[in-house]
Every structure is written in structure tokens, then in C-alpha cells.
């Protein structure tokens, strides 16, 4: 018996770009049979900096272990093909533009009567209800709408910006995969399918969970006063950077200035994270200074930490990152040099834990990509092979869906599944 958690589960994926494709990718690593429905010209991410043969970095990193079927969803033959696939599917995944799934008859409510065990998982930009439900949106826009762009702290030309990784997309993919696993587990006990919904907005809020709290009697008046000031500031042309700077925060001066931050070292940068008082004592002793505020012996805490910050900054800048990291690690203080993303690809620590998957791709050659993002004993999650060349499995998938040989030939000749 297979120990892979999704062995025997068939997934129809109507996914493009990131959130749904990566959710399908994770399910495939767990043993699911994932059929990816693509436009006749191929999923859009195939065409971002293409490598040839219908491959791109963006496609490769989110679509392994799948079987691709080109399908023109508005073609006269598409309904016949979809019905045959749906009859054999356990899960449908989609992140279509608002309204398209309903037009194509792929919403859960449209399918449940015919396929009561089916699970439909969808990812939207802003959620399925409310005034913004029908709006289009992608990671960059949702990071702005949710506050995540400000929380990230990155600026460009004086304005907030995201990092290079679309983190809301990947968080949404993880939530969606967890939702599908939950729905499958419930189906084992109840026999019924269900609808799983997540959104980029919810994912962006989850990533800011530390800030998504208001203790009304403490924070309510501060937030109300700030919103009043903010309205006036925007009318008065106050720069956005100042608006951000005035935003109420719950972090204390000790964390911001000394104990949870990055420092410039002699050769690079160092990050430290000392959340507890005991760790803070270890850190301040390791760098050769004292902090009487940790014992409650300072009246003006803000001024004290502003002065201490200048002193500790100068101390950290006098030695290399490696020197500080070795010293702090011996003291049990969480600290690390700040790595550039290209460095981590060759770091021995992720390699020791099989966090990367290295293999020879038949088109692009030797390749390094992320391995499964979690491990389950008994080889529960295993990196799948690259998706076969675009369109090459159309006949095989139609035969798997139960079409007789003459119908396979008819559908191939009709153009609904012929890639451009």
C-alpha cells in the first residue's frame, strides 16, 4: 500500500501563474494525479522568459508531476471533455478571473448535484463576497490593498514596494492545499465533497497576523486619532513616508532599536532576534555593553535606547559578520548573516535536509529547484518528474477519461485539444 497521502486522488487544475499551480504542485508531490488544463497556447507562465520547448523557470518551479491537457474551454467539444474528466475527478482547483468559473459551469454549487463527492478549491484576489469580490487582482495589488506592502518595509524611490517574491501568492497556495487536504479528510468520514475558498487578501492578512489585532480599550482611541490625522494628511499632501512613520505600532523601543533587527557589520549585515529578556541579556553581554532598562532602572526608555543604539551600532560595525555570528551562536543567541538568495542555493544546511531537488531536465538540462516544502515519513512527499512536453499527453488523457478510440480521434481532429 502506498504511503503517499494523496495517492489515488485525481485533481483537475485550472490554474495559472502561482497560487493554484503551486497548490497543485504540492498535491502532486504527495502522490495526486494532477491534470493541468491549459489554454491551447499554454499557461501564461510558460511564456515568461521562455527557455524553449514550452518551458520557463516560472513554469518549471510550480508544475512538476502534472499531466497537461491543452483545452479550448469555449470550444463546442469542451463540455463533453470536461464532463468526462469531472466524472473521474476528486478535486477541482481554479483561480480564474471573477465570473469565469460560473460561466463554464465549474463552481461547486453547479457541480455538487452531479458529483456529490467532488471538492472544488478556488483562490480569488479579495474573497468571494463583498464590494471588491468582482475585482481582478494579483499579488502586487493585494499586497498594497492589505497593508502587507508597508509591513514588509521595502521602499523604492521613496514609495512602498514588494520584495521580489510574491509571498501572498505562495501563502494562498499553501492555505489552498491545506484546505483541500482538510476537505478530503472530511470526505473520508462523511462521504460528501465541499467547497474550499481562500484568497490573496486572506493570505496577505495571515502573513501580518502579529499586526492584525486591536485591543479596543487600548488601541481603539489611538487608531481612531491616527485615521483622523491620516485623512487630513492626505488632503494636505503629506508625503507617504511620513504617513507610514506616524502609523501606530505595538513594538517597544528595545525590540526596534537593539534586540530584533539587522546591523551593519564590517563586511556585510547581521540579523539578531532576541524576543525574551534572557536572550537580550545574553546579547548585550556578548557585545560588551549593559542595558539597565532590562532591570527597570531607566526612567526615559526611548532616550536610553536611542543612545544605546548608537553605541551598539558602532560595536557591531567593528567586526565581520562571521565573527559576530560565531560569538553569538556560542552564547545561544539567535543570529545570522544576511544571505543573498543566490547564496542559499549552495548552502549546506538546506542541502542536508533535501530542501532542494536537483535533476536533469530533458529540455533545459541540469536543474535546481525547491523540493517538497514538507516531509512525511515513508516517502509521503516526493518530487515528481517534469510535466511532459506541452500537448504530448492529450491522447493519453482522453483515453484515461474513457473516450473510445474513434472519439479520441474525433476530438483531436476537432481542435479543442490541439495545442497552438
Report the pLDDT averaged over residues 215-219.
94
User: How many Å apart are CA 385 and CA 396, to the nearest integer?
Assistant: 17
273-329 per-position pLDDT tens digit = 999 999 999 999 999 999 999 999 999 998 999 999 999 999 999 999 999 999 999
Task: Label residue 299 exposed, middle or buried (CB < 10 Å: 0-12, 13-18, 19+).
Answer: exposed
Helices (H), 98-248: 100-103, 108-111, 139-146, 148-152, 167-190, 200-206, 216-235, 240-245
Q: Look-up: residue for cell 517538497?
A: 372
Strand ranges, E, within 284-355: 335-337
The domain made up of 250-340 is a member of CATH 3.10.20.30: no
Q: What is the pLDDT of residues 357-384, one digit of tens each?
A: 999 999 999 999 999 999 999 999 999 9
Identify the residue with better confidence: 249 or 89.
89
221-255 pLDDT tens trace: 999 999 999 999 999 999 998 999 899 987 666 77
Q: Name the average pLDDT for the chain.
A: 95
Assigned CATH class of 10-206+350-414: alpha beta
pLDDT band at 35 (very low <50, low <70, confident <90, very high): very high
Q: What is the pLDDT of residue 253?
A: 66
Q: Where are the domains of the chain?
A: 10-206+350-414, 216-249, 250-340
pLDDT, position 2: 77
Of 274, 283, 339, nearest to 316 (Cα)?
283
Give how far Cα 225 sits from Cα of 216, 222, 248, 349, Å: 13, 5, 10, 48
Instruction: Examine the pLDDT at 419 and tell me if it is beyond 90.
Output: no
pLDDT for the residue 297? 93
Closest CA to 34 of 12, 7, 1: 12
Amino acid at each position: 500500500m502506498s504511503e503517499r497521502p494523496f495517492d489515488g486522488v485525481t485533481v483537475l487544475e485550472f490554474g495559472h501563474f502561482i497560487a493554484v499551480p503551486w497548490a497543485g504542485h504540492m498535491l502532486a508531490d504527495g502522490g495526486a494525479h494532477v491534470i493541468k488544463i491549459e489554454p491551447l497556447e499554454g499557461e501564461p507562465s510558460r511564456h515568461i522568459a521562455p527557455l524553449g520547448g514550452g518551458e520557463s523557470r516560472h513554469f518549471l518551479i510550480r508544475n512538476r508531476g502534472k499531466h497537461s491537457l491543452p483545452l479550448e474551454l469555449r470550444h463546442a467539444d469542451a463540455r463533453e471533455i470536461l464532463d468526462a474528466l469531472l466524472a473521474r475527478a476528486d478535486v477541482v482547483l481554479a483561480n480564474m478571473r471573477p465570473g469565469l468559473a460560473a460561466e463554464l459551469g465549474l463552481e461547486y454549487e453547479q457541480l455538487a448535484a452531479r458529483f456529490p463527492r467532488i471538492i472544488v478549491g478556488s483562490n480569488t484576489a479579495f474573497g468571494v463576497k463583498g464590494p471588491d469580490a468582482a475585482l481582478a487582482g494579483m499579488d502586487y495589488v493585494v499586497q498594497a490593498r492589505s497593508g502587507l506592502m508597508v509591513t514588509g518595509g521595502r521602499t523604492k524611490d521613496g514609495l512602498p514596494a514588494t520584495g521580489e517574491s510574491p509571498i501572498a501568492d505562495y501563502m494562498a497556495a499553501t492555505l489552498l492545499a491545506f484546505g483541500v487536504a482538510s476537505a478530503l479528510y472530511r470526505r473520508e468520514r462523511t462521504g460528501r465533497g465541499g467547497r474550499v475558498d481562500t484568497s490573496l487578501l486572506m493570505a496577505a492578512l495571515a502573513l501580518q497576523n502579529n499586526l492584525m489585532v486591536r485591543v479596543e480599550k487600548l488601541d481603539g482611541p489611538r487608531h481612531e486619532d491616527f485615521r483622523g490625522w491620516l485623512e487630513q494628511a492626505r488632503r494636505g499632501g503629506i508625503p507617504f513616508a511620513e504617513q507610514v512613520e506616524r502609523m501606530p505600532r505595538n513594538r517597544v523601543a528595545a525590540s526596534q532599536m537593539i534586540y530584533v533587527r539587522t546591523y551593519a557589520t564590517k563586511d556585510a549585515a547581521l540579523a539578531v532576534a532576541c524576543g525574551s529578556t534572557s536572550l537580550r541579556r545574553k546579547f548585550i553581554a556578548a557585545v560588551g555593553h549593559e542595558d539597565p532598562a532590562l532591570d527597570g532602572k531607566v526612567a526615559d526608555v526611548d532616550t536610553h535606547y536611542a543612545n544605546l543604539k548608537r553605541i551598539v551600532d558602532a560595536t557591531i560595525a567593528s567586526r565581520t559578520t562571521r565573527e559576530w555570528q560565531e560569538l553569538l551562536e556560542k552564547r545561544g543567541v539567535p543570529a545570522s548573516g544576511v544571505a543573498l538568495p543566490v547564496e542559499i542555493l549552495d548552502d549546506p544546511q538546506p542541502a542536508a535536509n533535501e530542501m532542494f531537488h536537483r535533476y536533469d531536465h530533458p529540455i533545459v538540462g541540469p536543474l535546481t529547484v525547491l523540493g517538497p516544502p514538507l516531509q512525511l515519513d515513508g516517502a509521503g512527499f516526493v518530487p515528481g518528474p517534469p510535466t511532459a512536453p506541452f500537448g504530448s499527453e492529450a491522447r493519453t488523457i482522453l483515453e484515461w477519461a474513457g473516450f473510445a478510440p474513434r472519439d479520441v480521434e474525433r476530438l483531436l481532429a476537432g481542435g479543442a485539444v490541439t495545442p497552438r
